[in-house]
Structure 1
Amino acid sequence: MENVVLIIHLLLALSLIAVVLLQRSEGGGLGMGGGGGAMSGRAAATALGKVTWILAAAFIVTSIALTVIAAEKSAGASVLDRLAPASVPAPSESDAPALPGGGSLLPPSPTADGDLAPKAD
């Protein structure tokens, strides 16, 4: 069922793109450039305009239908529930590579004569 609605949804999207591209451009944003547009009281009721509204309404209906179908499929299930617990053992200290210079990560501390000596653990 979900695949059928998804295919219809994709066909509606492609059709909506095609119909919008076929419409006559009136110049200007938001219909400001021509007579009768989105901002005026008289909207042009052409056949392509009506088809655009019908396709847009059907696109919204299929979007809602896909949302409802997806919600029913996941009823009570969480994404985290679907993840299998990782069975990777924690690394032990013997697996870690040895550090050069005695294994201390701290910088050497200065001695009384100003030379740097490695810090003793």
Structure 2
Amino acid sequence: MLQTILLVAMILVSIALAGVILIQRSEGGALGMGGGPSGMMTARGAGNLLTVTTWWLAGIFFLLAVTLTILGNVERADRSVIDPNAIGELAVPPSGQTAPAGTPAAPTPAAPAAPSLQDLENSLSQPSATPAPAQPAPAH
């Protein structure tokens, strides 16, 4: 709820910031456009007001950005990058099945539970019953 409110506030501040920047008078002759008195607000006081408003809106924008970043990461602090349940999926297929040489083991969807890390260690320590026949390399 708070993130939604802050996100809407950030969108409104972004629109206001873009509008205030576009209203300001050009200070230099960038790209051949002069900074003459043809603008809508030409008084020096209006220029100072727009500059101060730009600074305030920019500060609020950055404050909202940092706050949204912190609030977004608070919920993820409890979780690990590595899913502990997915470690067992690296094991060789369940007992009774043999994988062809050179093909990665694919987890079976009908298995009741993922193999454990102990199953992986056991499967790697056991020599295979039938060695894979060597295939000659194709001649080019």
TM bucket by the smaller chain?
0.5 to 0.7
CA RMSD in angstroms, aligned pairs only: 3.5
Between the aligned residues of both structures, percent identity stands at: 30
Normalising to structure 2: TM-score of the pair?
0.48
The CA deviation string for residues 66-114 of structure 1, in whole angstroms up to 9 with x for no partner, is 1210121112323433x973969869339x8xxxxxx633427xxxxxx
The 2-side partners of 1:49 and 1:78 are apart by: 45
Higher helix share: 2
Indicate the residue corresponding to 1:93 in structure 2: 100
**Gap change, CA 1:77 and 1:14, over 3 Å in 2:** same
**Gap change, CA 1:45 and 1:84, over 3 Å in 2:** farther
Q: How many residues align?
A: 90
**Structure 2 runs not aligned, ≥5 long:** 36-45, 104-134
Indicate the residue corresponding to 1:107 in structure 2: 139
1:17-96 alignment to 2 at 5 Å?
17-28=18-29, 46-81=48-83, 85=86, 92-93=99-100
Residue 24 of structure 1: SS of its match in structure 2?
Answer: coil
- Higher Rg: 1
Deviation at residue 45 of structure 1 after TM alignment? 5.9
**Structure 1 runs not aligned, ≥5 long:** 35-43, 97-102, 109-121
